[in-house]
């Protein structure tokens, strides 16, 4: 599934990030722990240049823990600092703050060597939409200071937030790259709600989810809810619709309503901890 989803506000967001990069010392790139490689914006990484980068695999409570460890090893092998975090339940905050302090040390030593006072570290929080950047920020602050929501791209405008006396964060809107050419990557990003709903067909994405559940879901999950694992995804979606009572006038399966229901169940973690990459 090829996806073109590059709303006008993302052009502005990209320009805003480029303008503000000169103001920050570190960039924290927030990724969805369920598919951190699929949701990496390489254009963003190129924009950052030589500034220290910390990759944060957020929403780790929704991902397969063993795969998250593998993902972290892979990202670190590229030379990045990386850690996992569950911002919603405020898990991983201490390790995150320590990682930022460590990343800032070279800059702090440089200031001292020049006889300057060490100012607070300035960290840009960036990434694609809907990876939990605002929830991440609220976790660090300890209270709700940033807008959060289920729709990709809800954050607007520049937001500087003081986390503690020696740390300031700049929250930025999520920004995508113009076109997703890899069909499976497009399905993953749609399943994770990273691209806008008008960019994909929900029924197609729900069928992909059912195929994922066959291979990566909890053992016996489909059988437990009365589904035949040998059926193809189109037939499975019909069966799910009838089991849920989602019918169109005349009694046929309402695939669209069923797809919406399945996608929401996955996104909220009700189908288990499933990683896609």
**Cβ neighbours of residue 123 under 8 Å, at least 6 residues apart?**
24, 25, 26, 27, 28, 100, 167, 168, 169, 170
Residue 8 dihedral angles phi and psi, to the nearest 5°: -55, -35
214 and 85 belong to one structural domain: no
Shared domain check, 174 and 42: yes
pLDDT attached to residue 259: 95
pLDDT of residue 142: 79
Contact 176, 42 (CB under 8 A): no
Judge whether 184 lies within some domain. no
4 close to 101: Cβ distance less than 8 angstroms = no
Q: For the chain, where are the alpha helices, taking DSSP H only?
A: 8-20, 42-48, 65-77, 93-113, 133-141, 183-191, 202-216, 221-224, 233-244, 255-267
213 and 141 in a common domain: no
Residue 276 lies in a domain: no
Q: Do both 161 and 214 map to the same domain?
A: no
Tens-digit pLDDT profile for the chain (277 aa)? Answer: 656 666 667 788 888 899 999 999 999 999 999 999 999 999 999 999 999 999 999 999 999 999 999 999 999 999 999 999 999 999 999 999 999 999 999 999 999 999 999 999 999 999 999 999 989 998 998 765 544 344 444 444 466 788 888 999 998 888 998 888 899 999 999 999 999 888 899 999 999 999 999 888 776 677 766 677 788 899 999 999 998 999 999 999 999 999 999 999 999 999 999 999 9
Are 171 and 210 found together in one domain? no
In a domain, 194, yes or no: no
152 and 255 in one domain? no
Looking at the 3D structure of the chain, how many domains does it have? Answer: 2
> Do the domain assignments include residue 188?
no
Do 170 and 244 share a structural domain?
Answer: no
Q: Enter the pTM of the model.
A: 0.89
The per-residue pLDDT for 167 is 93
Whole-number pLDDT of residue 275: 96
* pLDDT at residue 215, as a whole number: 85
Q: Is residue 277 part of a domain?
A: no
Identify the pLDDT of residue 196. Answer: 86
Distance of alpha carbon 77 from its chain centroid, rounded?
21
The 8-class DSSP code of residue 245 comes to T
Q: Domain boundary residue among 149, 179, 209?
A: 179
pLDDT score of 3: 66
Domain that holds residue 70: 3-179
* 205 and 121 co-located in one domain: no
Same domain, 63 and 106: yes
Say if residue 101 is in the same domain as residue 213: no
91 domain-assigned: yes
CA triple 33-218-239, angle to 5 deg: 110
- The answer as to whether 49 is a domain residue is yes
């Amino acid at each position: 599934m090829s996806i073109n989803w590059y709303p006008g506000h993302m052009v502005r967001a990209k320009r805003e990030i480029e303008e503000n990069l000169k103001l920050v010392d570190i960039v924290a790139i927030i990724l969805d722990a369920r598919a951190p490689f699929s949701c990496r914006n390489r254009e963003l990484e190129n924009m950052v240049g030589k500034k220290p980068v910390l990759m944060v695999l957020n929403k780790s409570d929704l991902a397969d823990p063993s795969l998250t460890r593998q993902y972290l090893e892979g990202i670190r092998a590229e030379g990045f600092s990386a850690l996992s975090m569950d911002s919603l339940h405020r898990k991983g905050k201490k390790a995150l703050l320590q990682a930022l302090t460590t990343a800032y040390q070279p800059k702090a030593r440089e200031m001292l060597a020049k006889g300057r006072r060490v100012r607070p570290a300035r960290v840009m929080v960036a990434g694609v939409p809907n990876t939990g950047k605002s929830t991440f920020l609220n976790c660090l602050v300890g209270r709700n200071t940033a807008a959060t929501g289920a729709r990709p791209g809800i954050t607007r405008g520049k937001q500087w937030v003081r986390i503690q006396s020696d740390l300031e964060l700049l929250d930025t809107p999520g920004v995508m790259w113009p076109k997703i050419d890899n069909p499976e990557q497009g399905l993953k990003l749609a399943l994770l709600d990273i691209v806008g709903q008008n960019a994909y067909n929900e029924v197609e994405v729900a069928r992909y989810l059912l195929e994922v559940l066959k291979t990566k879901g909890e053992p016996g999950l489909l059988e437990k809810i009365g589904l035949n694992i040998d059926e193809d995804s189109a037939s499975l979606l019909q069966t799910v619709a009838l089991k849920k009572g989602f019918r169109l006038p005349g009694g046929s399966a309402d695939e669209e309503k069923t797809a919406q229901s399945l996608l929401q169940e996955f996104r909220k973690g009700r189908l288990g901890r499933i990683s896609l990459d």
